[in-house]
Amino acid sequence: MMTIEKPGLLTSIQDLGRYGFQKYGVIASGVMDPLSHRMANILVGNEENTPTMEITLLGPVITFHETTLISICGGDLNPSIDGKPIRLYRAVLVKKGSVLRFGSCKLGCRAYLAVAGGFSVPSVMGSKSTYLRAKIGGFDGRALKLGDAVFIDSPGKLSEKIITYLLGQLKENSFVESKWSVALDFTPTYKNESMIRVTKGRQFHLFTDESKQKLFTEPFEVTSQSDRMGYRLKGPKLALEKAQEMISEAVDFGTIQVPAEGNPIVLLADRQTTGGYQKIVQIASVDLPLVAQRKPGDHLRFVEITNEEAQQLLLERESRMSQLKNGYLLKFS
Amino acid sequence: MIGGVEMEYRLHSLSDHAIMIELGDNISQETQRGVQEIASLLDQHPFEWMIEYVPAFTTVTIFYNPRKIANLNRTRELPYDYVCHQLNQFLSNLTLEKQTGSRLVEIPVCYGGEYGPDLETVAKINGLTTEEVIHIHSSGGYDVSMIGFAPGFPYISGMSKRIAAPRRKSPRLKIPARSVGIAGKQTGVYPIETPGGWQLIGRTPLDLFRPEEEPPSLLRAGDKIQFKPISYEEYQEWEKDKR
């Protein structure tokens, strides 16, 4: 069990999302950065869909009431245990009674805390993700707050092996980090200037040539009106060749739509299931984690790739993830 | 086939893991029936690689798992091409049955008062009395075109233009769940508390979003709706029975 001494800005329990109910208007929810979430789970020996804690910009303070195997991946919010910094992308065994704190935001803006066994919350419609607006899922359907006691499910076999291994090195310390970590070339660096790869959206052809050109040459700023539902961007105004009403249709994670006033909106984890604005481009799945780690004031630059390239990149990413997982399984089998 | 005519469709990629079947450029009974037919076929015969589907007015979007397709399909065909082939086969076998009997769902509404603070505004705009607005709203036959926007939120067609009313100039920050409203030529029911600019004419004691039930939505695309006026006292009775 762990208790929340300070909740942070927005700390919620999320898994990979609630699927199968979008046809009833129930949004998918889930983590903003699936890659970091999955890596954190793999490092503690969990299944990839096990719920993690999504920590935003300003992190919480958490006391561990039992010795717990954790991992933090994604944004670097300067985590420390009992005053000593801990590294990301590693398994960390935390001794009972230790306190985890987060500092200022160094890189990215969302950290994912996985615990061996996963957070013990009920499954609602097949998912443990928090759907904040409908107040369902996750921890009581809401973000974590001061004084919450969060329980942890019993760790699986693989987690137990990692715990046993690290326990031998814990000694009198508050925590011990694993020597192994996710390969450096596979950990994202969240450089603000890196380009975001996109494919043409369904209504791309309806925009003016000037809009299409500016989209790929000018930077767009993430404004303060940005949250888990979507990022409102500011940059050159994007306009349709001629104004027209659109029939509402499905949208996806990473869809960029443009309302009549011309400022694009990137739809993210808590997006609506359908939308009635023209979709200019769609972010490639492999670059969604990069977008999810940008914060208000950061910029996005777009570069076009084909749908074929986007799928190839996705399959390559997936095979790299399988390697990571299998390598780990082998180490402890 | 729709009425002996082959159903026309186009396939588009929405993202690197979603494909959209488009049945036409306009909302019509044919496109709506096509959408419902595809949806019910997908319910009966879900593809192994399908994660879920989202029906809308003229489209059905299928979300799929590219990794699973890469494992299923040894020819190294691109997942999108593989999905297109499978869908082309699936859709060529599709024959539209005569419209199956749709469900009629009665939705009790307590009009006006604290539950419908904009009822008088709607009446005034249209030069009607509040009683006439209630009568017109509750005597119409409505169709649920699709569910979207919010959990269990029905896009309803069939409202009389005689009670149309523009959205409020300044949206309310909180609209209570189960409020019945009018926006332009549309009527709808808010399943959960949300901000919004609809003119509120009443409230129903029925929950449209039911997270504990399967399916979690009272309404489904293709349903017919009838609004039934109830008194304030009857509304309280409904509320009591729910508990």
Q: For residue range A266-321, what is the model confidence (pLDDT) as tens digits?
A: 999 999 999 889 999 999 999 999 999 999 999 999 999 999 999 999 999 999 99
| The pLDDT value given to residue A168 | 94
Q: What is the pLDDT of residues B15-36, one digit of tens each?
A: 999 999 999 988 888 888 899 8
Out of A248, A255, A311, the one facing B79 most closely (by C-beta) is A311
Q: What is the pLDDT of residues A180-219, one digit of tens each?
A: 999 888 888 887 778 999 999 999 999 999 999 999 999 9
Q: What is the pLDDT of residues A80-124, one digit of tens each?
A: 999 999 999 999 999 999 999 999 999 999 999 999 999 999 999
Mean pLDDT of A22-37: 96
- The span from the CA of A328 to the CA of A181, in Å, is 10
- The span from the CA of B206 to the CA of B169, in Å, is 28
What is the percentage of chain B residues whose pLDDT exceeds 70? Answer: 95
Q: Omega into B205 within 30° of 0, i.e. cis? A: no
Bridge partners (DSSP) listed for residue A52: A14
Global ipTM: 0.95
Give start and end residues of each alpha helix (H) in chain B. Answer: 29-44, 66-72, 79-92, 119-125, 130-139, 232-242
Query: Torsion angle, CA of A258/A263/A266/A270, rounded to 10 degrees?
Result: -90
The DSSP string of B73-141 is -TT---HHHHHHHHHHHHHHT--PPSPPPPPEEEEEEEESTTT-TTHHHHHHHTT--HHHHHHHHHHS-
- In Å, what is the CA distance from B216 to each residue of A126, A187, B219? 12, 39, 9
Q: Which of A306, A308, A311 to mutate to test the interface with B (most CBs of B within 10 A)?
A: A311
- The span from the CA of B25 to the CA of A65, in Å, is 59
Neighbour count for residue B145 (Cβ, 10 Å): 24
Task: Calculate ∠ Cα B15-B16-B21, nearest 5°.
Answer: 55
Say whether residue B140 is in contact with chain A using an 8 A CB cutoff: no
Say whether residue B190 is in contact with chain A using an 8 A CB cutoff: no
The DSSP letter of residue A31 is -
Out of A255, A273, A310, the one facing B148 most closely (by C-beta) is A273
- What's the token pair of residue B12? 């588009």
Q: What is the pLDDT of residues B177-226, one digit of tens each?
A: 999 999 888 899 999 988 888 899 999 999 999 988 888 999 988 899 99
Residue B210 CB burial class (10 angstroms; 0-12, 13-18, ≥19): middle
Out of B27, B70, B209, the one facing A247 most closely (by C-beta) is B27
